[in-house]
Structure 1
Amino acid sequence: MREVTLTHRECVKLIGSPERARYGMVSVDGREPRRLTCLIVGDGDLLIDLDRERPIERPIAGRPIAVEFTHHDQRGNGGWTVTGLGLARPIRDGDKPIPMPYTTLTVGAFETGVRVCIARLTGRRTRPTQI
């Protein structure tokens, strides 16, 4: 299989489709990553609802956040991995999309959540070998 490098814009498109909510591995300040539900907003920024995600510490505002999203095609047609770094800040008025986008994942009200301001997303797509 060959790998193809993805641009920031391509990464945003991948993690935001077909739904804008996706499970990701989230690491706060270099700690052990945890699988959390992330809502993709804007140009790759993420919302994480801390009321819903109890395993994560509450005082994370201002801390660096590393994220990784992975997708493996069930039919063997390759897959992709997207990683990013950002900074967490408390959710402010206007951060939460209204109306909330449709998703099959359970997302909370984001009353005590954080917005992770992503500096840049990078990724790679694994394609099947051409015969």
Structure 2
Amino acid sequence: MQRKISVLVEVDLDGRYVHVHVTGALTAVNQQGLHPVLRRARTMLPAATVNLDLTCVRELDPRALELLRRTVEHEPGLDGAVQIRVPQEAPAGAAATALAARRRLRNEVLQRRSERLPVPLPGPALSAAS
């Protein structure tokens, strides 16, 4: 079975931040797919902070995290401009946990977007949308 990642890039139109949300199974092999995403984010918005959010991955290989950190530290343009958020606890591999992580991620994105609306969305509407 192939272990894949899914990436959602959220760009602030004012150019203040770029959030790169990752779900799925992050391995030493597929973490390389994040490198061009991070480079592209820095190219599009050089003054913005890029937040790499790994809190919703269901499987996180410690070697993959080490390789990502090394890339961020040593690649020109990424050092100091990319912040990596990792889960507080080791992620579980259960499908229910992965689904809950995806729902939590969608809810966070919707919440952040709705904060800028003239009339905020009611709480239950956000829960139902996810």
The TM tier, using the shorter chain, reads under 0.3
TM-score calculated relative to the size of structure 2: 0.26
Bigger RCO of structures 1 and 2 (CA < 8 A, at least 6 apart)? 1
Structure with greater strand percent: 1
TM-score normalized by the length of structure 1:
0.26
